[in-house]
Structure 1
Amino acid sequence: MSSKALEMLANEIVEDSDDDDVPQLSAHALAALEEFYTDQHQQEKSESVQPAEDWNLSQFWYNEATCETLATEVEACCREQSPNSPSEVIVAFVSCPTLYLHVRKLRLNKQQSVDNLHLLEFDTRFASWDDSYQSRLNFHRYDYREPEKLPANLLGKCSLVIADPPFLSEECLRFTAFSIQRLICSNSGRLILCTGAVQEDLAAKYLNASRRQFKPGHANRLSNEFACFTNYSTFTFE
């Protein structure tokens, strides 16, 4: 409901009220008010889909600019893989729930399928029903400490994997890399890895991924320098 409509509603309340009477609303005004509360409720539900950061799980959500940049690259990769049906490309989001939700929302707003977008995440708060779009999130519980426990239907089927390992340790990256190698298509699969800049040598060692100029940012600023690595020449950023 627009601010102009709210102003008209307020004016109607003033015009229809007497000094001694309780203000009365017309059927039109009541319908407008109901629309306002419905829109407000839908917005609240949409905003509540993304849980708050849990720092005990080393969760730091991307800022809006980073989500937009990475989402644009995701869609470019999907179009390159399947120009006529990009939504049929299987994409795995490993430990990066904010990006998953962002790409999912963009597609749903365009009335595109999200069946092939998969979130592999430890935090079960993301295994929820999305009230704002009346659909369930495509969630698979994932623990990097058990890298072999992966959805059987995704093994070797993911044309694109985006990963953001939760901890800046060699063990975490090595185990996550093991999972990525099992998920990704062996010949044409593409990888986007977002992690600390200090992991550059390990990203090359375990995933043959090179550092890009683009630097992911977070809603709550981190002291650690973050970086983006890929195993291909990116389409939409350097």
Structure 2
Amino acid sequence: MSDSDDDIPALSADTMAALQEFYNDTISKNTPAASSSSSAMFAVGAVEEDWGMSQFWYSDDTATRLAEELIREAGEGGRIACVSAPSVYQKLKQGVVEGSDGVSAVVLEYDRRFAVYEQEFVFYDYKEPLALPGELLPPQSFDIVLVDPPYLSEECLSKVAQTVKYLTKGKVLLCTGAIMEEYAKRFLDLKLCSFLPKHNKCLANEFRCFVNYPSQLLSS
């Protein structure tokens, strides 16, 4: 998730070290040997936000609403790509959203903690937008792509847009700051939705959703 650097809380070195130890313990306990399926590896919230990587998790209600939107628009047997939006991916994997068992999803993420999802995890650095494994991510192979660029900047969104265009068959759902509306239109031809996404943490920047298809989020 995105926000300006000025809004990132500062933690002490001891606190950060303790959090890292917790992360490492979580991953070691959730390896494939400890679970029969990747969908059981993490519940939403098991992986905490890392402000140093500009991560800000959605509220449970927002993650659920976005997951429902993805499932509806992907259709039965559809494929979903979550680009820098791991909290929504995790909501899909929980299996608590109706229809989630009828779609498949992958998460493209810089945070390697999500490698516990094995083949459904693709390491992603927006600075190399097309450095993608073709065997896992063939071009135009996803029915809908959800993307939440890590930074509110023209440079970031322009590069992420290259990734989105490579992945999607057509449908795009972008979640980013309201200040990015001009660039959302310029790079991906997206329209502003009335739906207001919320985060677990109170962010200074107003967030909005943008789509390029007739979405229920447009009139929410």
TM-score range, shorter chain: 0.7 to 0.9
Show CA shifts across 1:196-216 (max 9, x none).
Answer: 000000000000001000011
**Equivalent residue letter for 2:69:** E
* Structure 1 residue 171 corresponds to structure 2 residue 155: yes
Residues in 2 aligned to 1:120 and 1:233: alpha-carbon distance in whole angstroms = 25
Residues in 2 aligned to 1:157 and 1:70: alpha-carbon distance in whole angstroms = 20
**Equivalent residue letter for 2:89:** Y
> Does structure 1 retain, via aligned residues, the 8 Å contact 2:93–2:100?
no
| Structure 1 ranges of 4+ moved more than 6 A | 107-111
Aligned to 2:70: 74
* Structure 1 residue 89 corresponds to structure 2 residue 70: no
Residues in 1 aligned to 2:128 and 2:66: alpha-carbon distance in whole angstroms = 27
Residue 111 (structure 1) shift = 8.4
Structure 1 unaligned regions, length at least 5: 1-44, 80-85, 130-135
> Among residues 211, 217, 225, which one is paired with 2:192 in the alignment?
211
Aligned to 1:159: 143
**Equivalent residue letter for 1:168:** L
Q: How many correspondences in the alignment? A: 178
Secondary structure of the corresponding residue to residue 159 of structure 1? strand
Structure 2 unaligned regions, length at least 5: 1-40
> Does structure 1 retain, via aligned residues, the 8 Å contact 2:71–2:100?
no
Aligned to 1:14: none
> Among residues 160, 168, 180, which one is paired with 1:199 in the alignment?
180
Residues in 1 aligned to 2:43 and 2:80: alpha-carbon distance in whole angstroms = 24
The structure having more radius of gyration, on CA atoms, is 1
The alpha-carbon distance between structure 1 residues 92 and 223, as it changes in their structure 2 partners (threshold 3 A), is same
Sequence identity, in percent?
36
The alpha-carbon distance between structure 1 residues 219 and 48, as it changes in their structure 2 partners (threshold 3 A), is closer
TM-score of the two chains, using structure 1 as the length reference: 0.69
TM-score of the two chains, using structure 2 as the length reference: 0.74
Aligned to 1:148: 130
Residues in 1 aligned to 2:128 and 2:55: alpha-carbon distance in whole angstroms = 19
Higher relative contact order (CA 8 A, sep 6+): 2
> Does structure 2 retain, via aligned residues, the 8 Å contact 1:118–1:139?
yes
Alignment root-mean-square deviation, CA: 2.3
The alpha-carbon distance between structure 1 residues 198 and 105, as it changes in their structure 2 partners (threshold 3 A), is same
> Among residues 193, 217, 223, which one is paired with 2:204 in the alignment?
223
Residue 106 (structure 1) shift = 2.0
Aligned to 1:104: 93
Aligned to 2:166: 182
Secondary structure of the corresponding residue to residue 172 of structure 2? strand
The alpha-carbon distance between structure 1 residues 126 and 202, as it changes in their structure 2 partners (threshold 3 A), is same
Residue 50 (structure 1) shift = 3.4
Secondary structure of the corresponding residue to residue 128 of structure 1? helix
